[in-house]
Amino acid sequence: MKILVTGSYGQLGSELNILLRQYPDIQSIFTDVDTLDICDKEVVNRFFEENQPDFVINCAAYTAVDKAESDIELCYKINRYAVENLAESAKKINAKIIHISTDYVFDGTSSVPYKEDSIICPKSIYGKSKAEGEAVLTAINPANSVIIRTAWLYSVFGNNFVKTMLRLGLEKEQISVVFDQTGTPTNAADLARAILSITNSNNCVAGIYHFSNEGVCSWYDFAKAIFELKNLPCKVLPIESSQYPVPAHRPHYSVLNKGKIKATFGITIPHWHESLQRALTNL
């Protein structure tokens, strides 16, 4: 089996790089913008024809949520039009695509965990661009496309909330974190293992799936857990989102229902606190 990973320098791509290298029977190709410009249709077509991957795992994305509100063209170029390029090229060689999407396709007004068939209503440019990426992939290559929506991703790689909290916890005596945004942190290493399970399954069922760690918390709860696990004395003060204004809308509730991915692929998902503790030992 040959697997192509795009966006391999990011959090998830880096975790997949480590994981896939443990399987010598899998031929893995890791790319990023310096080795494969997925925004260039001709380049993508040629790359797919030459390398003939069986699976494409698209980890590439524009994820600067606030910056996207003003950097609209580039956001859509990566999150929508590059996905179209990948979908068309994959269809030509009958390759399967696993595409990573986001909880930001929802407006965050639900009071129960979002299912895959819940109505999407993105409120930010980032969310809208990712929703269009989902739509174009489903329209072009529905039989061979797996879309995984995830949330609150963190890793030992890249920049993320966990690393920011660790830095602030060493620099400050107290910080303020919003308590009225609720979701579930996702360890990118857990998501990488779930993706590998899908590629190894005998029946890769196309469709949309949700994946995050188990459990629910607020960003405030998440920050407190980080400091407690690392024995940092920094005090965390809860504040409302209105006290921390940002350009892009954040869903106030973005808990994802993972029943479908667990039932379809037999995946076991650890609790977010357990995965956080494991990640912090590597930081």
Residues 123 and 105: their CA atoms lie apart, in Å, by 8
183 contacts 254 by C-beta, under 8 angstroms? yes
Residues 272 and 190: their CA atoms lie apart, in Å, by 10
Query: Can you state the percent helix, strand and coil of the chain, rounding each to 5?
Result: 45, 20, 40
Question: What is the DSSP track for 128-171?
Answer: HHHHHHHHHHHHH-GGGEEEEEE-SEE-SSSS-HHHHHHHHHHH
Is 154 known to be catalytic?
Answer: no
Please pick, among 62, 76, 104, 126, the residue that the annotation labels catalytic.
126
Residue tagged 């005596």 (tokens)? 173
The end-to-end CA distance of the chain, in Å, is: 32
Residues 217 and 69: their CA atoms lie apart, in Å, by 27
Residue 200, C-beta contacts closer than 8 angstroms, at least 6 positions apart? none
Token couple for 39: 């925004």
How far is it between the farthest Cα atoms of the chain?
A: 56
Annotated catalytic sites, by residue? 126
